[in-house]
Chain A
Amino acid sequence: MNLERRDFLKVLSAGALTAGNVTSVFADIRKTLSPNAVGILYDGTICIGCKACEAACKQYNDMPPESGSLEKAYGVNDIWDDTSDISEKTLNKIKLFEHGDASVRNREENGFAFVKRACMHCVDPDCVSACPVTALTKNETTGIVEYNKDACIGCRYCMVACPYNVPKFEYAKAIPEIVKCEMCGHRQVVGDIPACCEFCPTGASVFGKVTDLLKEAHKRIDLAVGSSYDYPMRNLDSGDTSPKTVASYINYIYGEREGGGTQYLLLSAIPFTKLGLPEVSETSSASKSEGLQHGIYKGMVAPIALLGGLLYGAYQTTKNENSEG
């Protein structure tokens, strides 16, 4: 009885150690933006929905054609944009918001607007935190979320974790990979910019340093509606501009705060929820999850203490059993 009680207390103390760490459970781990991080600013108000970005993305990332609804409806296959969303074959996608008679661009009522969906390249990416084998990594300089197929085990936890449903999985392949936008890293290495920005005819997608892009985005929001503004084309500092009439911006930069910030930023004249962008809290889920995990497993003290207690307890009981038996 005595022994039993003592063991019980030992186990309890080990358990208490585990529980004790729970106090630090809710301490968020926040990651910050690298000073040289690059990103894309997408301005939906000047996007004309021409899908040049999609076409260029397909071409420069060697992405295969799609077979989707058009194939089902008309029996035509291998159409490059036959998909309703980004997919394992399409890294970026222009989507159309329509309401009523859709007569006026950049208007919520009876209007229409475009939005481009692609990887947000989060400052504190949930997918990177989720990946058990470090197949998804955040580039320390550029901040690009990169994928390494040689590490990936295909568990698809990144897809569960991503609040924007960006990582896609090749369900139709026997040897599948996770597919996502990597901001044309292969082009950036040789001094080029992402294809979607390079080939955007209006400057709706511009490439640049995230800090500069944020400044530019704020500047645009502050412009007078109806005034003319020289929108930078392709690269924020390309010097090439295109004059356009300033639309009525929503006073919000999507991606400035979402999940601790993203490197893909969006501007729009209609509310972002209408464009299908999810409402994401300001702290990333990764920081909550990692905070909890590191709280419980701080230096592995708690599990080792628990194991110690259990080893003792189990030793005592099995010793009795062995001698008895």
Chain B
Amino acid sequence: MTHERKPLGGKLLTKPFWVLLSLAMIAGLLLIKRFLFGIGAVTNLSDGYPWGIWIVYDVLVGTALGCGGYSIALLVYIFNKGEYHPLVRTALMTSVFGYTLAGVSIFIDIGRYWQMYNVFLPWHINVNSIMFEVAACIGAYVFVLWLEFSPTFMEKLNADKAKNKMNKVLFIFIALGVVLPTMHQSSLGSLMIIAGEKLSPIWQTSWLPLLFLLTAITMGYAIVIFESLFTAVALKRPLEETPILGKLSRIMIPLLVLFMLLRFGDLAWRGQLGNIFTNGLLGGFFVIENILFLIPIVMLASAKNRMKASTLFWSSGAMLLGGALYRFDTFLVAFNPGPGYHYFPSASEILITVGIVSVEIMAYLIFVKKLPVLPVVKTS
């Protein structure tokens, strides 16, 4: 059941790495501006749109993309599907980055960051607040993720004793690592229930938590597939994981079908189906979302297709895009605070997000090259 892993090695400061580093430095300079002159100095946020891409991309989409660890852990440890074990460590690593940087993004985005610890002070917390649950859960989960990932460092440091001890109690963190994302990925959807009439009725529903949870889990599988294939190509490794990824991709279909049934059923129940056609632009976004969700359902239906790397790549890509768009729509596109308000991210805002993503990719490169993350390639 265990697999041999070792650091990839190789040169770290490649050309792409320099590009990423300069992007990160641009973002760093812009962040100095943000902390000196306020959020308004770098963003297009307004009183009507208090949340922009930092929250919607970096936090919502970012953590959904970081659901790989959660989704795979669910499969491997809870449903005891040992065959997916080789995917655990890479998935976990993406989760660690995704969530850590989401935490960093929150720190950048919130106005009174130096008081952030108030979320954990019992005399300050508000148990009625969805935001409290989200913040506390994400905070705790980032901690859990690093603990779950810690055996990797221990291997690197040859700390076998510590690793064995850790492995004994790891099951606690694995269980927590499933409960916490279940809680906050659903609550990320619940966040918008309080927006009431400001969110279009096509998206506004009491089922938001379940819809968000389903897409988050599905996106977790999709990111594992997408990332494995992409990095294999980018790092010039053989596509030897395709069969197991193909098998994994099958799980996405029932999840997506359930999501679609729930979504359309809810729309029909609330009598909002007609709204999709009368609601011009928003209707269009809704249709695009659903097409993106349909692509993996259709493309991955046959076993033969599931064995093709490019099919897996495109269908998981569509799933990620669909899940991301669903989050963007719920929090920005279909969110209308009233006439006169507009939001489109400013260049600085985008550059900061780009910088954060660059840091994520750089960290990935450092980790796979220096730590035993990727499985050893069997030379043929």
Direct contact of A and B (CB under 8 A): yes
Residues of A within 8 A of B (CB): 3-4, 7-8, 11, 25-26, 84-85, 87-88, 126, 129-134, 149-157, 159-161, 163, 165, 168-178, 259, 276, 278-281, 284-286, 288-290, 292-294, 296-297, 303, 306-307, 310-311, 313-322, 324-325
> Could you tell me if B179 and A133 are in contact, using CB atoms closer than 8 angstroms?
no
Within the complex, which residue of B41, B82, B125, B192 is in contact with A172, where a contact is CB–CB below 8 Å? B41
Q: Could you say which of B111, B121, B179, B186 has the most chain A C-beta atoms within 10 Å of its C-beta?
A: B111
Per the bound structure, the CA–CA distance linking A289 and B172 in Å amounts to 31
> Could you tell me if A11 and B79 are in contact, using CB atoms closer than 8 angstroms?
yes
Q: How far is the CB of B215 from chain A (nearest CB, A)?
A: 17
Per the bound structure, the CA–CA distance linking A307 and B174 in Å amounts to 10
Q: How far is the CB of A261 from chain B (nearest CB, A)?
A: 15
> Could you tell me if B174 and A314 are in contact, using CB atoms closer than 8 angstroms?
yes
Closest to B47 in A: A168
Whether A321 contacts B1 in the complex (CB less than 8 A), given A87-B47, A165-B47, A310-B175, comes out as yes
B2 at the interface (CB under 8 A from A): yes
Q: How far is the CB of A111 from chain B (nearest CB, A)?
A: 20
Within the complex, which residue of B121, B130, B335 is in contact with A130, where a contact is CB–CB below 8 Å? B130
A320 contact set on B, CB distance < 8 A: 1
B133 contact set on A, CB distance < 8 A: 293, 297
Q: By the criterion of a CB under 8 Å from any partner CB, how many residues of chain B are at the interface?
A: 75
> Could you tell me if B38 and A307 are in contact, using CB atoms closer than 8 angstroms?
no
Q: Return 12 A-B CB contacts under 8 Å, by A number.
A: A7-B80, A132-B119, A133-B124, A153-B111, A157-B191, A163-B198, A169-B47, A285-B194, A288-B206, A310-B179, A311-B171, A318-B171
Q: How far is the CB of B19 from chain A (nearest CB, A)?
A: 31
B275 at the interface (CB under 8 A from A): no
Within the complex, which residue of A134, A160, A165, A171 is in contact with B338, where a contact is CB–CB below 8 Å? A165
Closest to B183 in A: A303
> Could you tell me if A174 and B37 are in contact, using CB atoms closer than 8 angstroms?
yes
Per the bound structure, the CA–CA distance linking A292 and B194 in Å amounts to 11
B168 at the interface (CB under 8 A from A): yes
B251 at the interface (CB under 8 A from A): no
Interface residues of B in 65-120 (CB under 8 A from A): 76-80, 82, 85, 106, 109-113, 115-116, 118-119
Q: How far is the CB of A195 from chain B (nearest CB, A)?
A: 22
> Could you tell me if A153 and B118 are in contact, using CB atoms closer than 8 angstroms?
yes
B295 at the interface (CB under 8 A from A): no
> Could you tell me if B206 and A25 are in contact, using CB atoms closer than 8 angstroms?
yes
Within the complex, which residue of B1, B176, B194 is in contact with A289, where a contact is CB–CB below 8 Å? B194
> Could you tell me if B131 and A132 are in contact, using CB atoms closer than 8 angstroms?
yes
Q: How far is the CB of B268 from chain A (nearest CB, A)?
A: 17
